[in-house]
Each structure stands twice: as C-alpha cells, then as structure tokens.
Structure 1
Amino acid sequence: MNDLIRTTITSMEAAEWCGKKHTDLLRDIRRYVGQLGESKIAFTDFFKETTYVTEQNKTLPCFLVTKKGCEFIAHKMTGQKGTEFTARYINRFHEMEEGKLPCPLNPQVASSVAELGRVTERVMTKQGSPAYKIAEAFKMECEQFGIQLPADFVKAPEYEQLALSQFMQ
C-alpha cells in the first residue's frame, strides 16, 4: 500500500468546485480564519495557509483545505452549487481515505514536488548538509502540498538524538 496519504485539497480545487474565482474564495477563507480566531477556535483544523508556484514562476497564496474545511465551506453554500460542492468533496475525501487516488492528484504537482525535492537535495548536498536534514526539508516541502509522509521518514543519527534530548530536559 502507498504510505503517502493526501489529507487536503487546495483552495484552487475548492474554488473550482464552488464555481468561484480563487481570489474570491481566498477572501472568504481569510474572513472565516479571522472569525475563528476571534472565537479562539483553531483555524488550522480547517485551513492551512501556504503558497504555490504558477507556470510563470510566480509565488501566489493559497490554502490547503482539510475535510473539516470543506465541510465549513459547504455549510456556507446553498442551492445547486452547495449540493455539487458537497458531493464532490465527500467523494474526493472518501477516495483519498480508501487510497484510490494517487498522491498527489495532479501530475503537475507530482512533478513539481519531485523537482523541488531534487533541487533541495542538490543545494543542501553542496552545502554539506547531512542526509537526515535533507529528508527533513523534503518532508516539510511535501506537507506544504498536503502530502503526509510516514512518521519515521526522517531518522536522525543516534548521536544527534542524544544531543537533542539533553536540551529538551
């Protein structure tokens, strides 16, 4: 079985399902985040702010939307569009949970993550970074794309773990 688990969709995908412009959905999500913050409710259970790189090599804002975030958006919608959005997100998350979808969903994203990993490895290797630090960087990059790697993906050398444990006490 594939150990990679996709647990979010992008706000671009959610906007498409909603029939909204991405900028309009970003505005709505930022408003939800503000309202959740005022109520002292953790918004990261619903939305995780991140960025993506366009084909023109521009970095733009977006959100990773969790299943709870999709439910939140769905509850704000009514009529045919609300029904369609709800059906799409339910189907997508069930497919992800059942492991029926490749991870990530979009082949362009897959190649972007792979290329980003290769560039990170090349740069960090030239700088003399140890392998486990490169793995940590790659794991963080994957998480920005909503890709969850196994918990034991990064293994620090034993001497490093001992040194770190001294500072944790």
Structure 2
Amino acid sequence: MYLKIINNNGDLMVESRQVAKLTGKRHTDLIRAIKSYLDVLTDAKLRPLEFFVPSTYEDNKGETRLCYLLTRKGCDMVANKMTGEKGVLFTAAYVTKFEEMENKLKPNIPQSLPEALRLAADLAEKNEYLLLENAQKNQMINELQPKASYYDLVLQNKSLLSISKIAKDYGMSGTKMNKLLHELGIQYKQGDCWLLYQKYADKGYTQSKTHAIDSDKSKLHTYWTQKGRLFIYETLKNKKGILPIIEREERAS
C-alpha cells in the first residue's frame, strides 16, 4: 500500500485525499469527519493544528477545493475510528512510512569508533573546504571593494563639482589635475577657462556656467558632472595608475 508523506516545513504530513483512498472512504465523508474532530478539539481547547492542517487543491475543473494535511496524530485519530482490514492496513502503512521519514531526518549518529573517526574526518574535510571557499570569496570581495566604494561615493552625490573638489579625492590641487587632464588630451585652456576637446565635449562630462563679475564682465566656469567624475576616475586609473585616496588606503590595509 503506497503512502506519500509530505514534508511541510519540517512537519511530516499526509494529504486527506490519499487517506480517503487508502481507507476506502469518500473524500467528502472524510472531510466531514475531520471537521467534527476539529470541533471537539477546539471545544476542548486543544491544538487542532497538531492534528489537521487546512489546505486546498484544484479539482479536474480547475476549481479550488478544501482538503486537510494530517499529522501523525491526525492519522492516529482517523485510524482509531476505523475497524476491519482497511483500518489495519492504513495504520500499518502510515506508521511504517512515518518511521522511515523520521529516520531519514534524524542526524547520522556514529555507532562505533571507526564510524565516529570517519565522520570526524568528513567534517574536517568539509570545514576545510568551506574555509577555503570563504577565503576565496573574501578575496574577490576585497578585489572589487575599492571600485565599489568609490563608485558608491560618486553615485550618492548628484551635484556638479569643480575640478578642485575632484582633485581633492586624489590628494592634489585643481591646477595639477587640470594639467594632468591636458596631458591626457582631454581638455585644453582657452584664456582662463579649461574646455574639453571636441572628442569629449558631447559626452555629458561637464556643464559650463557663466558668473557675472560686474555689469560689464562675466566669466565662464566649467563644472564636472558625476558622469565626468567617473570618466576621470577610469582614465587616471587605466592610463596613469592613479587612484583616489580612499582606494589607496583600502589597498594598503
């Protein structure tokens, strides 16, 4: 007699449709009986869910129907109400199957010294593997961390920045940073203002603003966007090997 045990979050249960089939009952009659058991259990202030757990299934028409999941206690209650061959066979089936499943869930306890030594060796090997795997993951995280840290810093800031503020990330002056970007062919100086070469002018790296000095004079100032800030970061890192201070400190630690 086949009986399927359901592992419901660690609790072993049998579905009421299967119980009905094994006991030769109509499922509707078994549901009616279970509801009467639940009424008695509730009135006695016992815990009905320790015996029967409400559930649902879809019938052949695709309609949702009520069923119950029976715990071992629930199976005992149903079996105790039965007589004859069907009851005996059902009792034998669920008792045997529950024991099989419970044994599978039990921890593997060694029964002899050789078994204990073998288990200890297996656990030591597994622990060594987990330590190695964890060390490898940590290394990968540490390798990616500098970029992630600086990117996070940049992406959290949505405002425009002067070149002096970006240069501060690298521990240098705005003048030195401007010269460095000029050497890299990114910008050129027009009068007192640094402008991007045409190759980079339409990339959204900068925004220029005009500031009035007096009623007759004004001055153009170039500010870098966060996209431009990341462009500087990638360019300095890849072409000059220059990193922001935050990454140098992380690599040194």
The two structures have a TM-score, normalised by structure 2, of 0.36
CA-atom RMSD in angstroms: 2.0
| Structure 2 CA distance for aligned equivalents of residues 57 and 99 of structure 1 | 35
Letter in 2 for 1:99: K
Q: Using the alignment, how far apart are the partners of 1:35 and 1:46 within structure 2? A: 12
- For 2:26, which of 11, 21, 27 is the aligned residue? 21
Separation in structure 1 between the aligned mates of residue 75 and residue 91 of structure 2, nearest angstrom: 8
Deviations 1:75-126 (A, max 9, x none): 11112121111011112212222339xxxxxxxxxxxxxxxxxxxxxxxxxx
Name the residue aligned to 1:72. Answer: 77
Q: Distance in 2 between matches of 1:75 and 1:17?
A: 15
Letter in 1 for 2:25: K
| 1:34 and 2:39 matched | yes
**Structure 1 runs (4+) greater than 4 angstroms displaced:** none
The higher radius of gyration belongs to 2
Task: Provide the residue aligned with 1:90 in structure 2.
Answer: 95
1:52 — aligned with what?
57
CA drift at 1:11 = 0.3
Read off the aligned partner of 1:93 and give its amino acid letter: F
Amino acid at match of 1:87: A
Q: Give the structure with the higher percent strand.
A: 2
Larger relative contact order, structure 1 or 2 (CA cutoff 8 Å, min sep 6) = 1
TM-fit CA distance, 1:5: 4.8
Structure 2 unaligned segments of length 5 or more: list them: 1-8, 106-253
Q: What is the one-letter code of the residue matched to 2:68?
A: F
Secondary structure of the equivalent of 2:38?
A: helix
Number of aligned residue pairs: give it.
Answer: 98
Mapped partners of 1:87, 1:8: distance in 2 = 15
Task: State percent identity of aligned pairs.
Answer: 40
Determine if contact 1:6/1:96 at 8 Å carries over to the other structure: no
Q: Where do 5+ consecutive residues of structure 1 fail to align?
A: 101-169
TM-score calculated relative to the size of structure 1: 0.53
Q: Is the 8 A contact 1:52 1:62 kept in 2?
A: yes
**Offset at residue 58 of structure 1 (A):** 1.2
Asked if the contact 2:11–2:71 (Cα under 8 Å) also holds between the matched residues in 1, the reply is no
